[in-house]
Structure 1
Amino acid sequence: MDFEKALLQVNQFSKNTLMETLGIKYTEIGEDYLVATMPVNSKVHQPMGLLHGGATVALAESVGSAASFLFINPKEYTVKGIEISANHLKSKKEGVVTAKATIIHKGRTTHLWQITITDEEGALISLCKITNIVLPK
């Protein structure tokens, strides 16, 4: 896989989507992972001025779904998220969070990803899991 081309592709797919609205940028890819960042500002705050759990889950689902997409043949298959869970462990008011999706199970029909969301110092903000189904087109 051409990692630079894959990063360009997933970032282009984000145009005019929720990912663009939230400022999500895909930054790194490897054999079994994908990384994205999201700024923490008023656009992703809940009323108490903290990072909204829903924005955190949107980041996790975005990186986990994009990761599955990169590891299939998109001419033959499509990917749909079928389950996501999140444990929010620490709050954040401003700065940047980084989400790293790492494959746990890569089957023919399902992918299971663990997504760690950390702050600039590496502190764990949220731990998420997403299950994606791989379907023939």
Structure 2
Amino acid sequence: MEKITLYKEQLSRMRSMNRYYHDQFLLDVRILFILNTIFIYLSLNNEYALYLVPLISLFGSVILSFHAYFLIFSRNYTEFIEQKINNEFDDKILIAHELENDYFFPTKQKKMVVAVFNKNFSWFSFVTLFITTYGFSSFLWSVYMIYVSQLNLVYLYFVIGITVITLVVGYWWFISGTGEKRLERVFKNMDNKDFLEGTFDPYIGHEILEIKENYVKSSLDVKDYHKQPMGMVHGGVIDTMAEAAISYAAYFTQEGTWVGVNNNTDFIRAITDGTIICEATPIKLGKRSQIWEAKLYNNDQECARSTVRLTNIDRS
């Protein structure tokens, strides 16, 4: 089966998922609104009906966020596939993901589930916040009424406890961007076979052999143009391999955009022919700054060792 056919099938599948969870979201909003309104009304004459209002509000927020969870997944994957198809045709023929990013909500920006608070704020964001505010208000009102009425404080503390847990997990997954960062990491790894195409590395013959968590292995077959006048491989070639391998290791396995800011290389033995193998591993990992080491081998003997400090420009 052709690659473009597979892309089209995946795109159709993601569009179907997107539509299903949009429809399910709108259906559940209506159901939860009706249930919430009914029990708020009943609680005016029956204090026991009040017990269900905070649970309905909390469950509603969780289930609606669960639908958004799938919407975010399908939107991200749809964007990835559309960009792949555009690359195959070398033309921007699919722009739905760009329209959705501007008209609904952007996929690669910090947001409260699907609501953004920057220049990309939209009616979609407003409706999301409106529904959230309604549910949160009914939750606070019911909790307050249970408290002032002294109905059941044990139950009240239970509701508050599971609410705090829900908010913490929700912040971790949605607002901090943990979920979308995981998707981005997978997309990067899906591209790692051809991500160097058209860049400096293939121009000099530098090839990535293996990428996995905190590790990159690369190679370079020595040619005459890699050498300086004395017949040995130029030190700049060694430095290039080391810093490139380390930068790619951080790019594919660490969150953020990492670039080298310092490179110290020790040349252990001269290289005149054969293949150079470079292996990059971390020494110290941080969110803003990292130190990595690259060891380079020729004919199974270590020929150079390089230490590179990286900085995360997303946090600068």
TM-score with structure 1 setting the length:
0.86
What is the aligned partner in structure 2 of residue 90 from structure 1?
Answer: 269
Report percent identity of matched pairs. Answer: 21
Structure with max Cα Rg? 2
Going from structure 1 to structure 2, the CA distance change for 1:44 and 1:10 (only over 3 Å counts) comes to farther
Which residue of 287, 299, 306 corresponds with 1:128? 306
Counterpart selection for 1:55 from 237, 256, 260: 237
Distance in 1 separating the partners of 2:270 and 2:232: 6
Q: What is the CA–CA distance in structure 2 between the aligned matches of 1:53 and 1:11, rounded to whole Å?
A: 27
- Size of the aligned set, in residue pairs, is 131
Q: Which range moved further: 103-112 or 27-36?
A: 27-36
Which of the residues 97, 101, 116 maps onto 2:295?
Answer: 116
Alpha-carbon distance in 1 for matches of 2:254, 2:233: 32
Shift of 1:23: 0.7
Match of 1:21 in 2: 203
* RMSD across aligned positions (CA): 2.1
Q: Which secondary structure does the structure 2 equivalent of 1:13 belong to?
A: coil
Q: Which has the higher helix share?
A: 2
For 1:66-114, what per-residue CA distance to the aligned partner results, in whole angstroms no more than 9, with x for missing partners? 01101234xxx32121100100111111110000001111101112111
Task: Indicate if the aligned counterparts of 2:212 and 2:253 stay in contact, CA closer than 8 A.
Answer: no
In structure 2, the residue corresponding to 1:136 is in which secondary structure? helix
Match of 1:35 in 2: 217
Give 2:257's aligned residue: 78
Unaligned runs of 5+ in 1: none
With over 3 angstroms needed to count, the CA separation of the structure-2 counterparts of 1:23 and 1:72, relative to structure 1, is same
Deviations 1:39-64 (A, max 9, x none): 11112111111111001100101101
Distance 2:228 2:200 in 1: 17
Counterpart residue identity of residue 263, structure 2? I
Q: Which runs of 4+ in 1 moved over 6 A?
A: none
Question: 1: distance between equivalents of 2:286 and 2:242?
Answer: 20
Deviation at 1:11, TM superposition (A): 4.3
Gaps of 5+ in 2: 1-181
CA distance in structure 1 between the partners assigned to 2:230 and 2:307 by the alignment: 26
Instruction: State the alpha-carbon separation in 2 of the partners of residues 123 and 96 from structure 1.
Output: 11
Asked if the contact 2:220/2:276 (under 8 Å) is kept, the reply is yes
Distance 1:45 1:130 in 2: 23
Give the conservation status (yes or no) of the 8 Å contact 1:11–1:25: no
Preserved CA contact (<8 Å) 2:214 2:250: no
Partner SS state of residue 60, structure 1: helix
Greater relative CO (CA pairs within 8 A, separation 6+): 1
Instruction: Confirm or deny: 8 A CA contact 1:97 1:119 kept in the other structure.
Output: yes
Call closer, same or farther: CA 1:91–1:62 in 2, change over 3 Å: same
